[in-house]
Structure 1
Amino acid sequence: MIEKKYKVPIRNLFCILCYVHEMPEVVSAFNSKDEDLPQLHLLAKLFIEETDRIMMRGLMKDYHERAEETNQLSGKILFEQSLNHIIQKKPSLVCEKDQFDEDILINQILKATLNTLLKIEELPKNQKIKISMQLKKLHHVSAINLFRKIFYMIRLNRNKVYYQKMLLLARFIYELNNLSDEDGAFDLIAILNDEMKMQIIFEKFILNFYRLEQQQFLSKIERMKWRMFGGNLAIIPEMKTDISLIDRVNKEKIIIDAKYYADIFSKSFNADKIRSTHLYQLFTYLNHSSDIYLTRGILIYPTNGVKVDEIYNISIQVGIEIQQSTIRIFTLDLNQKWQDIYNQMFVLLK
């Protein structure tokens, strides 16, 4: 069994995922009390508010297959289900046809989550009354049992994007409500041991944090052109940053390369060294960054027992000139209080 090298409290993981899904207001609500876990009554309040917003906009409708007994042939005949009708010589068959309405999986998850909340004894009476009113409006949506895999069955297209917050809150509520199951499973924790998933999450968290929490820099993914000419440029790979922070007023840029690695060091002659490929990559970004912006680089890792904060002076090309800049190698401690993580993200830019 591989020992976990990351210590990330569940609350902090929730907060990180909220930024990934562009929900900073949910993080503010989580931190109203200094507790290890977001409380279900708080999540219930947020979920009720989000359900109201969805209902005001209008429940999503889509085509889905529906089986029904009918005496008029339409759609596809389900012979196995119709066999008893044929044997009993009933003037009806079971047919499956496409139907366009609100009884689709995404609305069924919404309804199932409301039903889950209604069964929680500690929930305030006013919240239960509100939930009951919302459920009455969903009488035409089928009741289903929630299970973990069902959340992976939803694909949000442009028309369904306003359901995004509801789905994330529904997932949080499901996970917290199932902490007491016999197997004690908490699936979100498994994400921490999946470096490929956490790499994407870590990058997007940093990108969205700076986009949503400050106004000095424009936070974006930046595509750069190689300073190469001649030859077949079509075979040259794309150069794309994880996070570029651009201050157009002060002509300043920061390129952040985020790496979620179990071990930030590699061994070289029995000595710990930062991985050379990471430095090569960031150094290349800095030398291709801009003709007008002085760019500095930050290579950031999550802390896994080793704290690093080192700043190195380097020379980079800005247009046709060589100028002095810096590369900072930094480890972000995700095991501290969320407010400390929040503050540390701003200190990193100074």
Structure 2
Amino acid sequence: MKEIPIQNIYYLLCYAWDKLEERDLVAVNAQKFKDLPNLFARVLVNGLRFLFKRGLDRSYRSSVEEYRGVKGKFQLTQSLKHNSLTLGRAYCECDELTHNVLQNQLLKATVHQLLRYTSLDSRNYDLLRPLYQRFHDVDDIRITSRDFSKVVLHRNNSFYKFLLNVARVLHENLLFDETKGQWTFRDFVRDEEKMAALFEKFIYNFYRHEVGNRYTVASEYITWQAVPIGDSSLEFLPRMKTDVTLTNVERKLVIDAKYYKEAMVSRYDQEKFRSAHFFQVHAYVSNLLNDANAGRRVEGVLLYPTVTVDFDQTFRVRGQTISFRTIDLRKPWTELESDLLNRIIR
């Protein structure tokens, strides 16, 4: 698969994260950056400037320290152990309002990691360095991917979510190459499993944001139109859950996002669509032909990224419409957006 423009990857991520407002707030000209780490570096520069201007998040943290006199909750055992009382001092437990909280530690650690990235351009380095120094009252920590899920966010600090998403991508893909003695960025676009999850979330949130005024957009479970015989139970049938379903009064459209390097398989020297994909969507559409959808057109679309050529094939199977379509993620964003709105769900 040819290279997807950096700007498009950025937009895919922003939709997948459901953070469009923040994307615009830290808007960057994605086309001018040579790689994703440099794009994300500038996103962090703009985002951190906003955070510092607004004020870094703070929280109360409990700590036990030695004070002159008594402050907070007196700790007798430690005070006696260190002979503090004879010196007019005491160990006390206090709740202190501090910037030294996990979300700030994660951002500081990510900036530090970026500053060591071999291919970080000099302009980004010069912009990031003073921002890193402003975290002087935040601890340096060694982070893991699990730390990102420990952060508790609420309405007043929700902007952190966007920057932490950026930080997590960088943390998981900036790797130290011991043979070269330098930091490199793993191209996660080549990771089919990660891109499949990203593609699915992108498609769902794109349509939820862009056509939510015309359709109810959901990922829904479909009930089998089947009747068990004897002691049989429907519980043993596999669950059917759509990636995206667009519903209005006239239409129900099921979109199944398939991020595959090869949308077709070769059989007897002839290219064929994957039978498992076809039967999956056929099952969805067939079981949606029920009383709840009476009067609606029920359709299914298998949506693939373009690999070598585009295709747009539609078939009517026993009165049901099923389409195989591609979307070219390499196109300029405005064209890609237009295709999603005007061709894929036409």
TM-score by length of 1: 0.70
Alpha-carbon distance in 2 for matches of 1:296, 1:51: 49
TM-superposed CA distance for 1:70, in Å, is 9.3
Amino acid at match of 2:270: A
Amino acid at match of 1:342: E
Task: Decide whether aligned partners of structure 1 residues 229 and 170 sit closer, same or farther in structure 2, where only a CA change above 3 A counts.
Answer: same
Paired residues in the alignment total: 310
Task: Decide whether aligned partners of structure 1 residues 222 and 121 sit closer, same or farther in structure 2, where only a CA change above 3 A counts.
Answer: same
Structure 2: where are the runs of 5+ without partners?
69-73, 85-90
2:310 counterpart residue number: 307
**Alignment check: 8 A CA contact 2:245 2:253 kept:** yes
Alpha-carbon distance in 2 for matches of 1:26, 1:90: 50
Alpha-carbon distance in 1 for matches of 2:124, 2:197: 35
Is 2:154 the partner of 1:155? no
1:17 counterpart residue number: 13
Give me the identity figure in percent. Answer: 26
**Alignment check: 8 A CA contact 1:50 1:165 kept:** no
**Alignment check: 8 A CA contact 1:7 1:304 kept:** no
Alpha-carbon distance in 1 for matches of 2:164, 2:105: 11
Alpha-carbon distance in 1 for matches of 2:47, 2:270: 50
Alpha-carbon distance in 2 for matches of 1:339, 1:201: 19
Is 2:46 the partner of 1:45? yes
TM-superposed CA distance for 1:337, in Å, is 2.0
2:87 counterpart residue number: none
Q: Which residues in structure 2 correspond to 1:100-115 (within 5 Å)?
A: 102=98, 103-112=100-109
Q: Which residues in structure 2 correspond to 1:56-67 (within 5 Å)?
A: 59=57, 61=59
Q: Which residues in structure 2 correspond to 1:331-342 (within 5 Å)?
A: 331-342=326-337
Amino acid at match of 2:199: F
1:173-216 CA-partner distances (Å, limit 9, x unpaired): 7799999x9645113x1x22332222211110000011112322
Alpha-carbon distance in 2 for matches of 1:100, 1:279: 59
TM-superposed CA distance for 1:63, in Å, is 6.4
1:202 partner SS = helix
1:276 counterpart residue number: 275
2:164 counterpart residue number: 167
Task: Decide whether aligned partners of structure 1 residues 100 and 229 sit closer, same or farther in structure 2, where only a CA change above 3 A counts.
Answer: farther
**Alignment check: 8 A CA contact 2:7 2:31 kept:** no
TM-score by length of 2: 0.71
TM-superposed CA distance for 1:27, in Å, is 4.8
Amino acid at match of 1:265: M
1:334 partner SS = coil
1:262 counterpart residue number: 261
**Alignment check: 8 A CA contact 2:207 2:217 kept:** yes
TM-superposed CA distance for 1:123, in Å, is 6.8
Amino acid at match of 1:327: I
2:299 partner SS = strand
1:221 counterpart residue number: 219
**Alignment check: 8 A CA contact 2:174 2:183 kept:** no
1:320 counterpart residue number: none
1:38-92 CA-partner distances (Å, limit 9, x unpaired): 3844542233225556x4xx8364768x6867998689x9xxxxxxxxxxx9648
TM-superposed CA distance for 1:282, in Å, is 0.5
1:201 partner SS = helix
TM-superposed CA distance for 1:115, in Å, is 7.4
Q: Which residues in structure 2 correspond to 1:1-350 (within 5 Å)?
A: 5=1, 7-25=3-21, 27-28=23-24, 30=27, 32=29, 34-37=31-34, 38=39, 40-41=41-42, 43-50=44-51, 52=53, 55=55, 59=57, 61=59, 91=83, 102=98, 103-112=100-109, 122=123, 135=134, 141-144=137-140, 150-155=144-149, 159=153, 162=158, 163-171=160-168, 183=182, 185-187=184-186, 189=187, 191-214=188-211, 215-230=213-228, 231-248=232-249, 251-289=250-288, 290-316=293-319, 325-346=320-341, 347-350=343-346
Q: Which moved more, 1:198-207 or 1:330-339?
A: 330-339
Alpha-carbon distance in 2 for matches of 1:183, 1:121: 16
RMSD: 4.4
**Alignment check: 8 A CA contact 1:246 1:252 kept:** yes
Amino acid at match of 1:240: K
**Alignment check: 8 A CA contact 2:48 2:131 kept:** no
TM-superposed CA distance for 1:104, in Å, is 2.9
1:197 partner SS = helix
Q: Which moved more, 1:162-171 or 1:33-42?
A: 33-42
1:218-265 CA-partner distances (Å, limit 9, x unpaired): 2210111111123212222221100011124xx212110011112211
